[in-house]
Structure 1
Amino acid sequence: MTDGKIDVLVAEDFAVTRMFLVRLLESDPQIRVVGAVGDGQAAVDFVLKNRPDVVLMDLYMPKLDGFEATRRIMETRPLPIVICSAVADPRELDIIFRSLEAGAVACIEKPVGSGHAQFETNAANLLQTVKLMSEVKVVRRLARSGPAPAAAARPAPSLRAPAEIKLVGIGTSTGGPPVLQSILAGLSKDFPAPVLVVQHIARGFLTGMADWLRQTSGLQVHIGSYGTLPLPGHVYLAPDDFHMGIGASGQIVLTREGPENGLRPAVSFLFRSLAEAYGPNALGVLLTGMGKDGAAELKLMRDKGAITIAQDSESSVVHGMAGAAIALGGVTHVLPADKIAAALVSLVNNRSNKARN
């Protein structure tokens, strides 16, 4: 970043779209496009010779696709990579989440033409994401041929819960999918509590994320539906444009009430419902993400006697939501991402076993 401007490389194979993205980015006085390439190999070569602050990366490109280009950049000269996808082809969803796993920091919906109803929203989101991600600290990813070790293989923190934990709620936003995947991969199929998740993600990405989490964790991952009684060892994701919570009867509740913190689904709605319905028998986890959604409600859960966990700053892409909860005094344990699964196993299994004995 020189003279206060954010230097961006655009990698997009379709020339018309590439120039459209260049013009859109340069409409913001804080952003300067320093390169525009049409294939993944050219993106890797550019990064090795130059040092942009952010790469805006398409998925399907000649020579190297977006995933392979992301993987090579993160293994050689890591920097923030934002995946930009039209989400038109369901086949793209798998490569999006593999790219996030390889080190991309965010995925956003590619803006459509200026006459489209969603253009202003999508364009503003792209510009905001590029600016915020330019400040993210990334680390080199080691080249590896197999899957990463599950988080449960790490030593479990010595934690104790004051009451039996009957339900776990997780909230996350920017940078969340890979952390969520590592947590779920560290839970066994017989994990004794259901897990409800609110992940802020662009419309259209959710089905692909559910499939990816299902394949990489081995757990049963569902998109939440109204009236479902959550089962132990199953994971339920809040659907697009619906708040998700838990009712007094223990069933999933969905509503299209107004956005909270500008969001729907909102973590705040989920955590508030857990505090009201389960009190000390719930456990709340707030992960990486922009803003403060869920922070006050995590404190509400703690005030009701629940165990609450926040991801630490060092392992977060953006320490917004979790940091706000910590500042409010709403967190009982601050943990790095790779220790959260082990903590959940320790807390939930210990209390469940005592309750049965």
Structure 2
Amino acid sequence: MTTAVLTAGGCRGAAARGALVLATGCVALALSVLAAVGVGSADVPPLDVARTVGVHLGAPWEALPPLRDSIVWNLRLPRVLLAALVGAGLAMCGAVLQAMTRNPLADPYLLGVSSGASTGAVSVLVLGFGAGVFALPVGAFAGALTAFACVLLLLGRSLGSTTRVVLAGVVVSQLFSALTSLVVVLSGDAERSRAVAFWLLGSLASANWTSVGICALTTTAGLVLFRLYAGHLDALAFGREVAAGVGFDVRRTEPLLYAVTAVVTGSLVAASGAIGFVGLLVPHAARMLTGGRHSVLLPSAALLGATFLVWADAATRTVFAPQELPVGVLTALIGVPVFAVLLRRRTGAP
């Protein structure tokens, strides 16, 4: 009796804590978006940002002057929203892969999609494959899916072996990284090589409403599907045998979750390049706040990752002005020391 009461009280306490984290995360993200849109070479007050958004959504308010309206609606808002979507998607996919592989070092690039996307993007930038505004993201996405197909080809029927998944991802990543380097070296064009390097380091400078729409679709669909499989992920975090023992069809669940993770990550990398450490560290931070239940962990990680990348991108636009720093460089500079601290705590180092 006493044990049952304590268990019920613990569940209610965990649910209340999760609800508080989610509510706080939603408010923090909304305020961060308003503030980040207003930050830049020409500051825009948050009320003006809200007014511009309202006008474009049909509110009967007085519009800002055309130049300021264009700065907010056409330049900054798509970039800030893309940062939020990329951060949310990477953190969410990182949490899923860490559970499926039972590897705390797993991140969204585990399946080689980042290297494949890089090769696809470089093929467009350097070799001129494709034409038009959509050539770069389409090339990057095609490269990401090609890399994932290579991972599946290497694994065959061994998709359930987490060790083989990791090794196949490493092999495919190295292969496509070598192909990317080969294309860049053979191009001999310094200007194109500089553009490639900037993209490879992760940048949101090319954000537009089309990329926002695509990433919003894939990230939202991924979150909804992962949330439906939260119970499967809870069980998979303890091993395939445990998941199968409680009645989950592991052979059908794992390929589906891997495929959705690859598609979501591929679409994000196609829009922003490879932004490291978000999908590795943010799930750990969210887990410390909410615990291990994926029904709460996944949306919490998405909110935390979105807020983090919004401010990281805002810093790259302002702190180093007039020069802009690729956001992937800043996330690595922040992520490395944070990861070192987490690693020392986990291993109990003095």
Please say whether Structure 1 and Structure 2 have the same fold, judged by a TM-score greater than 0.5: no
Which structure carries more helix by proportion? 2
Structure 1 length normalisation: TM-score?
0.23
Q: With CA pairs under 8 Å and 6+ residues apart, which has the higher RCO, 1 or 2?
A: 2
